[in-house]
Amino acid sequence: MNKFSDAAANISEQNKLRWLVLLCLAWIIPGLVGHQPWKPDEAYSFGIVHHILKSGDWLVPTLADQPFMEKPPLFFITAAIFTKLLSPLLAPHDAARLTSGFFMALTLIFTGLSGRELWGKGQGRISVLLLLGCLGLLVRAHQLITDIAQFAGFAVALYGLAISRRSTLLGGLALGTGTGIGFMSKGLLAPGIIGVISFALPLFFVAWRNKGYLNCLLYAIIAALPWLLIWPGALYLHSHELFIEWFWINNFGRFFGFAGLGPSNNHWFYLTNLPWYAWPALPIALWTLWREKLSRPEIQLPATAFLVMLLVLSAASDSRELYAMPMLLPLCLLATASVDTLKRGAANALNWFGIMTFGFFAGLLWFFWFALMTGHPARNAEHLLEMQPGFIPTFSPLAFTVAAFFTLSWLAILIATRHLARGRRAVINWSAGVTLLWGIASTICLPWIDAGKSYQSMIASLQKTMPSNYRCVASENLGEPQRALLDYYANIVTHRADSTGRSDCDVLLIQGSADNPSPPPLGWKQLWEGARPGDNSEHFQLFQRIP
Protein backbone atom coordinates (compact mmCIF):
# COMPACT_ATOMS: atom_id res chain seq x y z
CA MET A 1 0.00 0.00 0.00
CA ASN A 2 2.84 2.37 0.86
CA LYS A 3 4.54 1.57 -2.43
CA PHE A 4 1.32 2.32 -4.29
CA SER A 5 0.92 5.64 -2.42
CA ASP A 6 4.52 6.59 -3.15
CA ALA A 7 4.07 5.79 -6.84
CA ALA A 8 0.90 7.87 -6.95
CA ALA A 9 2.71 10.76 -5.27
CA ASN A 10 5.57 10.51 -7.78
CA ILE A 11 3.15 10.52 -10.70
CA SER A 12 1.45 13.54 -9.20
CA GLU A 13 4.78 15.37 -8.85
CA GLN A 14 5.67 14.50 -12.45
CA ASN A 15 2.36 15.83 -13.70
CA LYS A 16 2.81 19.05 -11.75
CA LEU A 17 6.23 19.48 -13.29
CA ARG A 18 4.85 18.85 -16.78
CA TRP A 19 2.13 21.46 -16.31
CA LEU A 20 4.69 23.93 -15.00
CA VAL A 21 6.92 23.35 -18.03
CA LEU A 22 3.95 23.93 -20.36
CA LEU A 23 3.09 27.16 -18.55
CA CYS A 24 6.71 28.32 -18.77
CA LEU A 25 6.80 27.61 -22.51
CA ALA A 26 3.49 29.43 -22.97
CA TRP A 27 4.99 32.39 -21.11
CA ILE A 28 8.39 32.38 -22.88
CA ILE A 29 7.63 31.66 -26.54
CA PRO A 30 4.99 34.28 -27.52
CA GLY A 31 6.56 37.58 -28.51
CA LEU A 32 9.94 36.14 -29.47
CA VAL A 33 9.08 36.00 -33.17
CA GLY A 34 6.79 37.87 -35.51
CA HIS A 35 7.91 41.49 -35.14
CA GLN A 36 10.73 43.77 -36.23
CA PRO A 37 13.54 44.91 -33.89
CA TRP A 38 12.14 47.62 -31.63
CA LYS A 39 14.09 50.61 -30.41
CA PRO A 40 16.08 51.33 -28.44
CA ASP A 41 17.61 48.17 -27.00
CA GLU A 42 16.55 45.57 -29.54
CA ALA A 43 17.65 47.64 -32.51
CA TYR A 44 21.22 48.29 -31.44
CA SER A 45 21.58 44.77 -30.01
CA PHE A 46 20.62 43.23 -33.32
CA GLY A 47 22.90 45.70 -35.09
CA ILE A 48 25.86 44.17 -33.24
CA VAL A 49 24.63 40.65 -34.02
CA HIS A 50 24.27 41.64 -37.67
CA HIS A 51 27.88 42.81 -37.73
CA ILE A 52 29.12 39.51 -36.26
CA LEU A 53 27.21 37.62 -38.95
CA LYS A 54 28.63 39.83 -41.72
CA SER A 55 32.24 40.01 -40.57
CA GLY A 56 32.79 37.04 -38.28
CA ASP A 57 34.43 39.40 -35.78
CA TRP A 58 33.24 38.51 -32.26
CA LEU A 59 36.04 40.21 -30.33
CA VAL A 60 34.98 43.86 -30.73
CA PRO A 61 31.23 44.57 -30.49
CA THR A 62 30.60 46.78 -33.52
CA LEU A 63 27.57 48.76 -34.58
CA ALA A 64 27.37 49.96 -38.20
CA ASP A 65 31.14 49.60 -38.62
CA GLN A 66 31.98 51.53 -35.43
CA PRO A 67 33.10 49.90 -32.16
CA PHE A 68 30.33 49.81 -29.56
CA MET A 69 32.03 49.00 -26.29
CA GLU A 70 29.16 49.21 -23.82
CA LYS A 71 28.94 45.47 -23.15
CA PRO A 72 30.96 42.25 -23.57
CA PRO A 73 29.91 39.99 -26.44
CA LEU A 74 28.47 36.81 -24.84
CA PHE A 75 24.83 37.62 -25.62
CA PHE A 76 25.65 38.87 -29.13
CA ILE A 77 27.75 35.81 -29.96
CA THR A 78 25.00 33.49 -28.72
CA ALA A 79 22.41 35.40 -30.77
CA ALA A 80 24.63 35.15 -33.85
CA ILE A 81 24.80 31.37 -33.36
CA PHE A 82 21.01 31.13 -33.07
CA THR A 83 20.64 33.26 -36.18
CA LYS A 84 23.12 31.17 -38.14
CA LEU A 85 21.34 27.96 -37.18
CA LEU A 86 17.75 29.15 -37.64
CA SER A 87 17.73 31.99 -40.16
CA PRO A 88 16.74 29.72 -43.07
CA LEU A 89 13.52 29.08 -41.14
CA LEU A 90 13.13 32.42 -39.37
CA ALA A 91 13.92 36.04 -40.14
CA PRO A 92 17.38 36.90 -38.75
CA HIS A 93 16.00 39.22 -36.05
CA ASP A 94 13.44 36.60 -34.97
CA ALA A 95 16.09 33.87 -34.83
CA ALA A 96 18.36 36.14 -32.79
CA ARG A 97 15.53 36.94 -30.35
CA LEU A 98 15.26 33.25 -29.46
CA THR A 99 18.47 33.85 -27.51
CA SER A 100 16.37 35.71 -24.97
CA GLY A 101 14.09 32.70 -24.67
CA PHE A 102 17.13 30.47 -24.12
CA PHE A 103 18.52 32.61 -21.29
CA MET A 104 15.07 33.04 -19.74
CA ALA A 105 14.67 29.26 -19.71
CA LEU A 106 17.99 29.00 -17.87
CA THR A 107 16.80 31.63 -15.41
CA LEU A 108 13.58 29.76 -14.67
CA ILE A 109 15.38 26.43 -14.28
CA PHE A 110 17.90 27.75 -11.77
CA THR A 111 15.29 29.78 -9.94
CA GLY A 112 13.30 26.58 -9.48
CA LEU A 113 16.41 24.71 -8.34
CA SER A 114 17.20 27.46 -5.83
CA GLY A 115 13.66 27.43 -4.46
CA ARG A 116 13.78 23.67 -4.06
CA GLU A 117 17.20 23.80 -2.40
CA LEU A 118 16.15 26.47 0.07
CA TRP A 119 12.60 25.38 0.91
CA GLY A 120 12.29 21.74 -0.01
CA LYS A 121 10.65 19.49 -2.58
CA GLY A 122 7.81 21.11 -4.52
CA GLN A 123 8.74 24.64 -3.49
CA GLY A 124 10.85 25.31 -6.57
CA ARG A 125 7.65 25.38 -8.65
CA ILE A 126 6.32 28.19 -6.46
CA SER A 127 9.52 30.20 -7.01
CA VAL A 128 9.13 29.85 -10.79
CA LEU A 129 5.44 30.79 -10.71
CA LEU A 130 6.20 33.89 -8.65
CA LEU A 131 8.87 34.94 -11.14
CA LEU A 132 6.50 34.40 -14.08
CA GLY A 133 3.96 36.61 -12.34
CA CYS A 134 6.23 39.62 -11.76
CA LEU A 135 4.76 42.45 -13.82
CA GLY A 136 8.04 44.21 -14.56
CA LEU A 137 9.64 41.15 -16.11
CA LEU A 138 7.03 40.32 -18.73
CA VAL A 139 7.94 42.64 -21.62
CA ARG A 140 11.67 42.79 -20.97
CA ALA A 141 12.04 39.01 -20.86
CA HIS A 142 10.97 38.82 -24.51
CA GLN A 143 13.29 41.48 -25.89
CA LEU A 144 16.66 41.08 -27.58
CA ILE A 145 18.68 42.57 -24.71
CA THR A 146 21.85 41.56 -22.88
CA ASP A 147 20.20 42.07 -19.49
CA ILE A 148 18.45 38.71 -19.88
CA ALA A 149 21.79 36.91 -20.11
CA GLN A 150 22.97 38.78 -17.02
CA PHE A 151 19.68 37.80 -15.35
CA ALA A 152 20.46 34.15 -16.05
CA GLY A 153 23.94 34.63 -14.62
CA PHE A 154 22.49 35.95 -11.37
CA ALA A 155 20.08 32.99 -11.21
CA VAL A 156 22.93 30.48 -11.63
CA ALA A 157 25.07 32.28 -9.04
CA LEU A 158 22.27 32.39 -6.47
CA TYR A 159 21.74 28.66 -6.96
CA GLY A 160 25.44 28.17 -6.29
CA LEU A 161 25.12 30.02 -2.99
CA ALA A 162 21.94 28.14 -2.12
CA ILE A 163 23.50 24.71 -2.64
CA SER A 164 26.91 25.63 -1.19
CA ARG A 165 25.89 24.52 2.30
CA ARG A 166 25.24 21.01 0.96
CA SER A 167 27.83 20.71 -1.84
CA THR A 168 30.80 23.05 -1.83
CA LEU A 169 32.12 21.89 -5.21
CA LEU A 170 28.82 22.16 -7.09
CA GLY A 171 28.03 25.41 -5.30
CA GLY A 172 31.41 26.88 -6.24
CA LEU A 173 31.12 25.82 -9.88
CA ALA A 174 27.63 27.31 -10.17
CA LEU A 175 28.61 30.49 -8.33
CA GLY A 176 31.67 31.04 -10.51
CA THR A 177 29.89 30.17 -13.75
CA GLY A 178 26.96 32.47 -12.96
CA THR A 179 29.39 35.27 -12.13
CA GLY A 180 31.16 34.70 -15.43
CA ILE A 181 27.93 34.71 -17.44
CA GLY A 182 26.88 37.95 -15.78
CA PHE A 183 30.30 39.49 -16.46
CA MET A 184 30.39 38.48 -20.11
CA SER A 185 26.87 39.84 -20.56
CA LYS A 186 27.12 43.34 -19.10
CA GLY A 187 30.52 43.82 -17.47
CA LEU A 188 31.65 44.37 -13.90
CA LEU A 189 28.26 44.96 -12.28
CA ALA A 190 27.35 41.29 -11.83
CA PRO A 191 30.74 40.18 -10.39
CA GLY A 192 30.69 43.21 -8.11
CA ILE A 193 27.23 42.51 -6.71
CA ILE A 194 27.76 38.75 -6.43
CA GLY A 195 31.11 39.34 -4.74
CA VAL A 196 29.58 41.66 -2.14
CA ILE A 197 26.77 39.16 -1.46
CA SER A 198 29.26 36.30 -1.10
CA PHE A 199 31.38 38.16 1.47
CA ALA A 200 28.47 39.81 3.28
CA LEU A 201 26.93 36.46 4.22
CA PRO A 202 29.78 35.25 6.50
CA LEU A 203 30.40 38.80 7.68
CA PHE A 204 26.92 39.18 9.18
CA PHE A 205 25.73 35.61 9.79
CA VAL A 206 27.41 32.84 11.77
CA ALA A 207 25.82 30.05 9.71
CA TRP A 208 27.97 31.01 6.73
CA ARG A 209 31.28 31.15 8.62
CA ASN A 210 32.72 27.72 7.99
CA LYS A 211 35.45 25.99 6.03
CA GLY A 212 32.99 24.50 3.53
CA TYR A 213 31.75 27.92 2.48
CA LEU A 214 35.32 29.19 2.14
CA ASN A 215 36.12 26.24 -0.12
CA CYS A 216 33.02 27.07 -2.17
CA LEU A 217 34.32 30.61 -2.74
CA LEU A 218 37.71 29.25 -3.81
CA TYR A 219 36.07 26.90 -6.31
CA ALA A 220 33.96 29.82 -7.54
CA ILE A 221 37.02 31.96 -8.20
CA ILE A 222 38.61 29.16 -10.21
CA ALA A 223 35.41 28.61 -12.21
CA ALA A 224 35.02 32.33 -12.92
CA LEU A 225 38.59 33.05 -14.03
CA PRO A 226 38.23 31.88 -17.68
CA TRP A 227 35.13 34.06 -18.07
CA LEU A 228 36.87 37.03 -16.45
CA LEU A 229 40.19 36.83 -18.28
CA ILE A 230 39.93 35.42 -21.81
CA TRP A 231 37.87 38.06 -23.60
CA PRO A 232 39.25 41.10 -21.69
CA GLY A 233 42.79 39.82 -22.29
CA ALA A 234 42.16 39.33 -26.00
CA LEU A 235 40.56 42.79 -26.25
CA TYR A 236 43.53 44.39 -24.48
CA LEU A 237 45.97 42.74 -26.87
CA HIS A 238 43.84 43.81 -29.82
CA SER A 239 43.40 47.45 -28.79
CA HIS A 240 44.47 49.13 -25.56
CA GLU A 241 42.21 52.11 -26.34
CA LEU A 242 39.08 49.99 -26.81
CA PHE A 243 39.87 48.09 -23.62
CA ILE A 244 40.07 51.34 -21.65
CA GLU A 245 36.85 52.57 -23.24
CA TRP A 246 35.05 49.41 -22.18
CA PHE A 247 36.66 48.86 -18.79
CA TRP A 248 36.87 52.41 -17.48
CA ILE A 249 34.24 54.49 -19.28
CA ASN A 250 31.46 51.95 -19.75
CA ASN A 251 31.82 50.30 -16.33
CA PHE A 252 33.09 52.80 -13.77
CA GLY A 253 32.10 55.84 -15.84
CA ARG A 254 28.49 54.77 -16.16
CA PHE A 255 28.22 53.72 -12.53
CA PHE A 256 29.71 56.89 -11.03
CA GLY A 257 28.37 59.22 -13.71
CA PHE A 258 31.56 60.85 -14.94
CA ALA A 259 31.15 59.32 -18.40
CA GLY A 260 27.93 61.28 -19.02
CA LEU A 261 26.24 58.24 -20.55
CA GLY A 262 22.79 56.83 -19.94
CA PRO A 263 19.72 58.25 -18.19
CA SER A 264 20.13 59.72 -14.72
CA ASN A 265 17.51 59.30 -12.02
CA ASN A 266 17.29 59.97 -8.33
CA HIS A 267 18.54 57.38 -5.89
CA TRP A 268 15.00 56.50 -4.79
CA PHE A 269 14.13 55.26 -8.27
CA TYR A 270 14.05 51.55 -7.47
CA LEU A 271 12.24 51.91 -4.16
CA THR A 272 9.46 53.86 -5.85
CA ASN A 273 9.17 51.46 -8.81
CA LEU A 274 9.55 48.09 -7.12
CA PRO A 275 5.98 47.99 -5.71
CA TRP A 276 4.53 47.54 -9.21
CA TYR A 277 7.62 46.06 -10.86
CA ALA A 278 7.97 43.16 -8.40
CA TRP A 279 4.26 42.59 -7.76
CA PRO A 280 3.11 40.17 -6.33
CA ALA A 281 6.46 38.79 -5.08
CA LEU A 282 7.39 41.91 -3.10
CA PRO A 283 4.52 41.99 -0.57
CA ILE A 284 4.74 38.22 -0.01
CA ALA A 285 8.53 38.52 0.49
CA LEU A 286 7.96 41.27 3.07
CA TRP A 287 5.50 38.95 4.82
CA THR A 288 8.25 36.32 4.98
CA LEU A 289 10.65 38.77 6.60
CA TRP A 290 7.97 39.86 9.05
CA ARG A 291 7.34 36.25 10.09
CA GLU A 292 10.85 34.82 10.01
CA LYS A 293 13.13 37.84 10.47
CA LEU A 294 16.70 36.69 9.60
CA SER A 295 16.62 33.63 11.77
CA ARG A 296 17.63 31.00 9.21
CA PRO A 297 20.23 30.68 6.42
CA GLU A 298 17.38 30.11 3.95
CA ILE A 299 16.15 33.62 4.75
CA GLN A 300 19.57 35.22 5.09
CA LEU A 301 20.71 34.40 1.54
CA PRO A 302 17.87 35.98 -0.49
CA ALA A 303 17.45 38.84 1.99
CA THR A 304 21.14 39.73 1.77
CA ALA A 305 21.13 39.38 -2.02
CA PHE A 306 18.15 41.70 -2.38
CA LEU A 307 19.55 44.33 -0.01
CA VAL A 308 22.96 44.35 -1.72
CA MET A 309 21.36 44.63 -5.18
CA LEU A 310 19.09 47.44 -4.03
CA LEU A 311 21.91 49.43 -2.41
CA VAL A 312 24.35 48.99 -5.29
CA LEU A 313 21.83 49.80 -8.03
CA SER A 314 20.43 52.76 -6.08
CA ALA A 315 23.94 54.16 -5.61
CA ALA A 316 24.60 54.15 -9.37
CA SER A 317 24.06 57.35 -11.32
CA ASP A 318 22.43 55.47 -14.20
CA SER A 319 18.95 54.09 -13.40
CA ARG A 320 16.34 52.28 -15.49
CA GLU A 321 13.55 49.90 -14.56
CA LEU A 322 15.31 47.37 -16.77
CA TYR A 323 18.22 47.24 -14.33
CA ALA A 324 15.91 46.09 -11.51
CA MET A 325 15.48 42.64 -13.04
CA PRO A 326 18.05 40.86 -10.82
CA MET A 327 16.21 41.98 -7.68
CA LEU A 328 13.23 39.85 -8.69
CA LEU A 329 15.21 36.65 -8.06
CA PRO A 330 15.82 37.01 -4.31
CA LEU A 331 12.35 38.49 -3.82
CA CYS A 332 10.74 35.41 -5.40
CA LEU A 333 12.90 33.10 -3.30
CA LEU A 334 11.88 34.98 -0.16
CA ALA A 335 8.21 34.96 -1.14
CA THR A 336 8.28 31.21 -1.76
CA ALA A 337 8.52 30.59 1.99
CA SER A 338 5.20 32.31 2.72
CA VAL A 339 2.87 31.36 -0.12
CA ASP A 340 1.43 28.46 1.88
CA THR A 341 0.99 30.63 4.99
CA LEU A 342 -0.86 33.55 3.40
CA LYS A 343 -3.88 34.65 5.35
CA ARG A 344 -7.25 33.74 3.85
CA GLY A 345 -8.10 37.37 3.11
CA ALA A 346 -4.77 38.17 1.44
CA ALA A 347 -4.78 35.00 -0.68
CA ASN A 348 -8.37 35.46 -1.80
CA ALA A 349 -7.78 39.14 -2.55
CA LEU A 350 -4.75 38.34 -4.73
CA ASN A 351 -6.63 35.54 -6.46
CA TRP A 352 -9.75 37.53 -7.30
CA PHE A 353 -7.83 40.68 -8.14
CA GLY A 354 -5.80 38.67 -10.67
CA ILE A 355 -8.84 36.94 -12.14
CA MET A 356 -10.81 40.17 -12.53
CA THR A 357 -7.87 42.26 -13.77
CA PHE A 358 -6.52 39.83 -16.35
CA GLY A 359 -9.97 38.73 -17.40
CA PHE A 360 -11.01 42.35 -17.99
CA PHE A 361 -7.92 43.31 -19.99
CA ALA A 362 -7.99 40.07 -21.98
CA GLY A 363 -11.60 40.82 -22.90
CA LEU A 364 -10.56 44.36 -23.84
CA LEU A 365 -7.88 43.06 -26.22
CA TRP A 366 -10.36 40.70 -27.84
CA PHE A 367 -12.81 43.59 -28.21
CA PHE A 368 -10.23 45.83 -29.90
CA TRP A 369 -9.15 43.02 -32.21
CA PHE A 370 -12.77 42.40 -33.19
CA ALA A 371 -13.20 46.12 -33.90
CA LEU A 372 -10.13 46.10 -36.16
CA MET A 373 -11.22 42.98 -38.05
CA THR A 374 -14.87 43.98 -38.58
CA GLY A 375 -14.84 47.77 -38.39
CA HIS A 376 -17.45 47.68 -35.62
CA PRO A 377 -17.89 49.57 -33.41
CA ALA A 378 -16.81 52.07 -36.03
CA ARG A 379 -15.65 54.67 -33.52
CA ASN A 380 -13.24 52.27 -31.83
CA ALA A 381 -11.98 50.88 -35.13
CA GLU A 382 -11.29 54.36 -36.50
CA HIS A 383 -9.48 55.39 -33.33
CA LEU A 384 -7.23 52.31 -33.44
CA LEU A 385 -6.39 52.91 -37.10
CA GLU A 386 -5.63 56.56 -36.40
CA MET A 387 -3.14 55.47 -33.76
CA GLN A 388 -1.29 53.33 -36.33
CA PRO A 389 -1.54 55.09 -39.73
CA GLY A 390 -1.01 52.76 -42.65
CA PHE A 391 -1.87 49.62 -40.70
CA ILE A 392 -4.04 47.22 -42.71
CA PRO A 393 -5.96 44.71 -40.56
CA THR A 394 -5.46 41.15 -41.76
CA PHE A 395 -7.01 38.05 -40.25
CA SER A 396 -4.47 35.42 -39.24
CA PRO A 397 -6.00 31.98 -38.57
CA LEU A 398 -2.89 30.87 -36.67
CA ALA A 399 -2.82 33.93 -34.40
CA PHE A 400 -6.55 33.64 -33.74
CA THR A 401 -6.27 29.94 -32.89
CA VAL A 402 -3.36 30.47 -30.51
CA ALA A 403 -5.07 33.40 -28.77
CA ALA A 404 -8.28 31.37 -28.41
CA PHE A 405 -6.26 28.46 -26.99
CA PHE A 406 -4.67 30.76 -24.41
CA THR A 407 -8.08 32.06 -23.39
CA LEU A 408 -9.69 28.62 -23.03
CA SER A 409 -6.64 27.27 -21.21
CA TRP A 410 -6.84 30.12 -18.70
CA LEU A 411 -10.48 29.30 -17.99
CA ALA A 412 -9.56 25.62 -17.57
CA ILE A 413 -6.80 26.54 -15.10
CA LEU A 414 -9.25 28.61 -13.03
CA ILE A 415 -11.53 25.58 -12.77
CA ALA A 416 -8.71 23.11 -12.08
CA THR A 417 -7.23 25.15 -9.21
CA ARG A 418 -10.47 25.56 -7.25
CA HIS A 419 -9.53 22.89 -4.71
CA LEU A 420 -5.90 23.88 -4.20
CA ALA A 421 -4.60 25.61 -1.08
CA ARG A 422 -5.46 29.30 -1.09
CA GLY A 423 -1.93 30.65 -1.49
CA ARG A 424 -0.94 28.29 -4.27
CA ARG A 425 -4.22 28.85 -6.10
CA ALA A 426 -3.67 32.60 -6.01
CA VAL A 427 -0.09 32.36 -7.33
CA ILE A 428 -0.99 29.89 -10.10
CA ASN A 429 -4.00 31.92 -11.25
CA TRP A 430 -1.98 35.12 -11.20
CA SER A 431 0.83 33.64 -13.32
CA ALA A 432 -1.71 32.09 -15.68
CA GLY A 433 -3.42 35.47 -16.02
CA VAL A 434 -0.14 37.19 -16.89
CA THR A 435 0.51 34.48 -19.47
CA LEU A 436 -2.98 34.89 -20.91
CA LEU A 437 -2.59 38.63 -21.37
CA TRP A 438 0.84 38.26 -22.95
CA GLY A 439 -0.34 35.44 -25.20
CA ILE A 440 -3.19 37.53 -26.64
CA ALA A 441 -1.05 40.65 -27.01
CA SER A 442 1.69 38.65 -28.77
CA THR A 443 -0.62 36.99 -31.29
CA ILE A 444 -3.71 38.83 -32.52
CA CYS A 445 -2.50 42.26 -31.31
CA LEU A 446 1.15 41.97 -32.37
CA PRO A 447 0.81 43.22 -35.99
CA TRP A 448 -0.95 46.38 -34.80
CA ILE A 449 1.71 47.02 -32.13
CA ASP A 450 4.55 46.33 -34.55
CA ALA A 451 3.17 48.73 -37.14
CA GLY A 452 3.95 51.69 -34.88
CA LYS A 453 7.33 50.47 -33.69
CA SER A 454 8.93 49.23 -36.89
CA TYR A 455 11.32 51.35 -38.97
CA GLN A 456 11.13 49.00 -41.94
CA SER A 457 8.66 50.97 -44.08
CA MET A 458 10.37 54.28 -43.35
CA ILE A 459 13.82 52.96 -44.27
CA ALA A 460 12.41 51.39 -47.44
CA SER A 461 11.04 54.80 -48.42
CA LEU A 462 14.40 56.44 -47.70
CA GLN A 463 16.28 53.79 -49.67
CA LYS A 464 14.26 54.51 -52.81
CA THR A 465 15.51 58.11 -52.86
CA MET A 466 19.18 57.35 -52.23
CA PRO A 467 21.45 58.49 -55.07
CA SER A 468 22.66 55.71 -57.33
CA ASN A 469 26.27 56.68 -56.64
CA TYR A 470 27.67 58.27 -53.48
CA ARG A 471 30.86 58.15 -51.46
CA CYS A 472 29.42 57.78 -47.97
CA VAL A 473 26.56 58.90 -45.72
CA ALA A 474 27.22 61.32 -42.89
CA SER A 475 24.76 61.68 -40.01
CA GLU A 476 23.81 64.24 -37.41
CA ASN A 477 21.95 63.40 -34.18
CA LEU A 478 21.23 59.91 -35.51
CA GLY A 479 20.56 57.44 -32.70
CA GLU A 480 22.26 54.08 -32.31
CA PRO A 481 19.04 52.11 -33.01
CA GLN A 482 18.47 53.97 -36.26
CA ARG A 483 22.09 53.46 -37.36
CA ALA A 484 21.78 49.74 -36.69
CA LEU A 485 18.52 49.34 -38.60
CA LEU A 486 19.72 51.34 -41.59
CA ASP A 487 22.60 48.89 -41.87
CA TYR A 488 20.29 45.87 -41.45
CA TYR A 489 17.41 46.85 -43.71
CA ALA A 490 19.19 48.86 -46.40
CA ASN A 491 22.92 48.16 -46.00
CA ILE A 492 23.42 51.89 -45.39
CA VAL A 493 26.36 52.55 -43.08
CA THR A 494 26.35 56.05 -41.61
CA HIS A 495 29.31 58.01 -40.23
CA ARG A 496 28.88 60.51 -37.44
CA ALA A 497 29.76 63.90 -38.85
CA ASP A 498 31.06 65.15 -35.50
CA SER A 499 33.19 62.17 -34.48
CA THR A 500 34.50 60.21 -37.45
CA GLY A 501 36.45 63.04 -38.97
CA ARG A 502 35.17 62.24 -42.46
CA SER A 503 34.39 65.33 -44.51
CA ASP A 504 34.10 63.69 -47.94
CA CYS A 505 30.58 62.31 -47.53
CA ASP A 506 28.19 63.59 -50.18
CA VAL A 507 24.98 62.38 -48.49
CA LEU A 508 23.77 63.62 -45.11
CA LEU A 509 21.03 62.15 -42.88
CA ILE A 510 19.73 64.32 -40.03
CA GLN A 511 17.48 63.14 -37.21
CA GLY A 512 15.42 65.85 -35.58
CA SER A 513 11.97 66.89 -34.53
CA ALA A 514 8.90 67.10 -36.74
CA ASP A 515 8.03 70.42 -35.09
CA ASN A 516 11.36 71.95 -36.02
CA PRO A 517 12.80 70.41 -39.22
CA SER A 518 16.29 71.41 -40.23
CA PRO A 519 16.67 73.76 -43.21
CA PRO A 520 18.98 72.45 -45.93
CA PRO A 521 22.61 73.15 -44.97
CA LEU A 522 24.45 75.54 -47.26
CA GLY A 523 25.50 73.67 -50.37
CA TRP A 524 23.06 70.78 -49.87
CA LYS A 525 19.66 69.89 -51.35
CA GLN A 526 16.95 67.83 -49.69
CA LEU A 527 16.14 64.46 -51.26
CA TRP A 528 13.70 63.00 -48.74
CA GLU A 529 12.05 63.48 -45.39
CA GLY A 530 9.93 61.12 -43.32
CA ALA A 531 9.29 59.28 -40.08
CA ARG A 532 7.73 56.10 -38.79
CA PRO A 533 3.98 55.98 -39.42
CA GLY A 534 2.21 57.89 -36.67
CA ASP A 535 5.45 58.95 -34.94
CA ASN A 536 5.42 62.65 -34.13
CA SER A 537 8.56 62.63 -31.98
CA GLU A 538 11.16 61.78 -34.64
CA HIS A 539 11.74 63.27 -38.06
CA PHE A 540 14.43 62.36 -40.59
CA GLN A 541 15.79 64.36 -43.53
CA LEU A 542 18.13 63.20 -46.28
CA PHE A 543 20.34 65.71 -48.11
CA GLN A 544 22.78 65.48 -51.02
CA ARG A 545 25.75 67.74 -51.54
CA ILE A 546 25.33 70.05 -54.54
CA PRO A 547 28.28 69.54 -56.94
Residue 164 lies in a domain: yes
Domain-terminating residue out of 255, 285, 305: 255
Tell me whether residue 285 is in a domain.
no
Return d(Cα 190, Cα 183) in angstroms, integer.
6
C-alpha distances in Å from residue 166, one per residue of 117, 199, 218 = 9, 18, 16
Angle, helix 297-315 to helix 92-119, in steps of 10 degrees: 140
Q: What angle do CA 31, 34, 35 make, to 5 degrees?
A: 85
Burial class (CB in 10 A: 0-12, 13-18, 19+), 153: buried
Position 379 scores a pLDDT of 94
SS3 assignment, position 511: strand
Low-confidence ranges of the chain (pLDDT < 70): 1-11, 259-265, 498-502
| CA distance linking residue 534 with residue 374, whole number of Å | 22
Query: Do both 418 and 470 map to the same domain?
Result: no
In a domain, 329, yes or no: no
CA separation, residue 339 to residues 133, 137, 158, 335, 422 (Å): 13, 20, 20, 7, 9
Check whether residue 412 and residue 481 sit in a common domain: no
Asked if residue 48 belongs to a domain, the reply is: no
Do 392 and 462 fall within a single domain?
no
Kindly state whether residue 37 falls inside one of the protein's structural domains. no
State residue 520's pLDDT score.
Answer: 83
Cα 321-322-325 angle, rounded to 5 deg: 100
Which residues span the domain enclosing 523? 456-545
Contact, 457 vs 390, CB < 8 A? yes
Domain boundary residue among 421, 453, 485? 453
Burial (Cβ within 10 Å: 0-12, 13-18, ≥19) of residue 466:
middle
Give the per-residue pLDDT at 263.
Answer: 62
DSSP collapsed to 3 states, 364-407: HHHHHHHHHHHCCCHHHHHHHHHHCCCCCCCCCHHHHHHHHHHH
- In this predicted structure, what is the pLDDT of residue 1? 40
**Would you state the pLDDT for residue 11?**
52
Q: Are residues 444 and 460 in the same domain?
A: no
CB 526 within 8 A of CB 541: yes
**Residues 444 and 486 grouped into a single domain:** no
Residue 446 shares a structural domain with residue 491: no
> What 8-state DSSP symbol labels residue 445?
S
1 part of a folded domain: no
| Integer Cα distance of 449 and 372 in angstroms | 13
- Asked whether residue 105 is domain-assigned, the answer is yes
Examine the domain organization and report whether 400 and 497 are in the same domain: no
- Rounded-to-integer distance, Cα 130 and Cα 139, Å: 16
- Asked if residue 94 and residue 229 are part of one domain, the reply reads yes
* In a shared domain, residues 350 and 468: no
Count the helices and strands in the chain (H runs, E runs). 23, 7
pLDDT in the model for residue 431: 98
Number of domains in the chain: 3
Residues 128 and 233 in one domain: yes
Q: Which of 255, 286, 314 is the last residue of a domain?
A: 255
Q: What is the pLDDT of residues 9-57, one digit of tens each?
A: 455 778 889 999 999 999 999 999 999 999 889 999 999 999 999 999 9
Residue 262 lies in a domain: no
Predicted pLDDT of residue 123: 96
Are both 480 and 393 inside the same structural domain? Answer: no
Interval 410-435: pLDDT, tens? 999 999 999 899 999 999 999 999 99
- What is residue 5's predicted lDDT score, i.e. its pLDDT? 40
Provide the whole-model pTM.
0.94
Same domain flag for 127 and 209: yes
